[in-house]
Amino acid sequence: MTAVGAAQSPRTPAPAIRVNAVSKTFGGTRALRDVSFEVPRASVHALCGGNGSGKSTLIKILAGVHQADSGTIEIDGHVHDATRTNPGWAGSNGLYFVHQAVGTFPSMTVAENFAVSSTFGARSLAPVSWRALHRRVQKVLEQFEIDVSPKTIMAQVPPATRTMIAVARALQYEAEAGRGTLVLDEPTASLPAEEAQAVLDAMRGYARRGHAVVFVSHRLSELLAVSDSATFLRDGQHVRTCDAADLDESSLVQLITGHAPIAPSRHAVATHQAEVRLRLENFAVGSLDDICLQVRAGEVVGIAGLLGSGRSTLLQSLFGVRPARGGRATLDGVELTANDVPAAIRGGIAYVPEDRAGQAAFAELSVRANLSAPSLRRYWNRVWLRRAAERSDTQGVIERYKIKVDGPEAYFATMSGGNQQKVVLARWLELAPRLLLLDEPTQGVDIGARTAIHQLVRQVAAAGTAVLLVSSDPQELVDACDRVVGVHSGRITGEASGADLTVRRCTELGHGLGAPSGARTPTSRALGPRTPATHPPTSMEPRTS
């Protein structure tokens, strides 16, 4: 595709990107309506909006995956017809994209991952010069200040470094000139705080080199910390473009959702009077040992821990996916059957895994099929499935949980991340579980969907369900949980509740820093708040060493 015009303001530097009156319709749905904004050079520009706001459609138009119905895209002063974009056009005009799934090959070396996207000057059918390849990649890595050898297997590289390698691979030919616009779509969504910070620091470095960076994230603190300016989309329309310095978290929420933020609520009734639902005694699974934990009916207990700490393994074992190595786990006094998922479901245990697309749902099937999967017996009359009843029930669930979808037969894969997660949650909540296991329940969803999911968790807890919630986001642990325990080096290292339940404290727990100053240590006695009349007494009793 060729440029159709040029900017007419020679004295003022053209922006890196100027989107002008871009519209896009899918069937009868207007995804974008006359959207216009600019991305300045040498800056980080946040693209903000909830699920269904149109930001994903806009990114796909910039990438050439979709073509607009109307509008233009100006890049470095040259105006292009937005109805004729394609992936080749995007790359030739200096637009580079890195997504949450960064597209690297774990079994290949860093250098080989660079080579798959570039010939590095090699002639057709000529043998690869590995020495030249390693020299070239080493130079690019140094330019982007990435401390890793070109010969390192990608699977051995930390997740944050993989993201930065993907960026360096995309910008390798633009690095020295400081040209090119980088679009980062949720690059930190699956990263813990420390690794996410490394990516944010790298983004500022890209901007200092002269690159424009378009940044998409549902983590409000990241948007505020790293952005120079921001554009907000809602319901396919441009709402506002402004300097990030004019924003705070409250105004971010209001611009994204259209209403003021809702303060998180906790139970009005103290859970220390409720019966113990889940009890773990010297439980051992994977790298975890001697885990002693109680979760009461109506209580939401969070688990703070780093990747590889065993936090997800614990949930998988309770659901029967992984066998335990020792100890005892009971639900309402009945010992859980080891390594038996059907028994766990029959026993009232529900599990929402971290990998929504790969493990929690059937992406190629309809919303109806996904919602009814755990309860097909309800519709089986010994000859066939009662499809009419199944569809009617599905429509009822869609309405009760406010799931935005065209209908029961819509494909799961076509929905936004927040609505997909609502489907996964609703599927289990309709069964009224006694124990709900949640692994990263709001990863990759917008602030509106995050609030709605937390409200659903609160509702099911208020009905008496015990909830065990894993999250790498300390703010989510504070917002959603009554109590948070830390898991590090295979053991529970401390807990927080009441006034002690803060973002800083949850971060400390995730890093194994144990009890706060002046508090008892986990090896001395059972952990718990010092005011049991106000807050639930601890229900975690690590064995004395």
Q: For residue 4, give the H/E element and its range.
A: strand 3-6
pTM: 0.67
CATH number of 1-94+175-260: 3.40.50.300
Domain ranges of the chain: 1-94+175-260, 101-173, 262-348+433-545, 363-431
pLDDT averaged over every residue in the chain: 84
Per-residue pLDDT, averaged over 382-406, amounts to 88
Homologous superfamily of the 262-348+433-545 domain (CATH): P-loop containing nucleotide triphosphate hydrolases (3.40.50.300)
pLDDT per position as a tens digit, 504-536: 899 889 888 754 444 433 332 333 333 333 333
1-94+175-260 matches 262-348+433-545 in fold: yes
Transcribe 72-104 into DSSP letters. Answer: EEEETTEEEEGGG--HHHHHHTTEEEEESS---
> What pLDDT shows up at residue 264?
59
Percent of the chain with pLDDT over 70: 86
Q: Long-range contacts made by residues 272-277, C-beta under 8 angstroms, separation at least 24?
A: 272/296, 272/532, 272/535, 272/536, 272/537, 274/298, 274/299, 274/464, 275/332, 276/539, 277/331, 277/332, 277/434, 277/435, 277/465, 277/466
> What pLDDT shows up at residue 50?
81
pLDDT per position as a tens digit, 42-98: 999 999 988 778 898 999 999 999 999 999 999 989 999 999 999 889 988 989 888
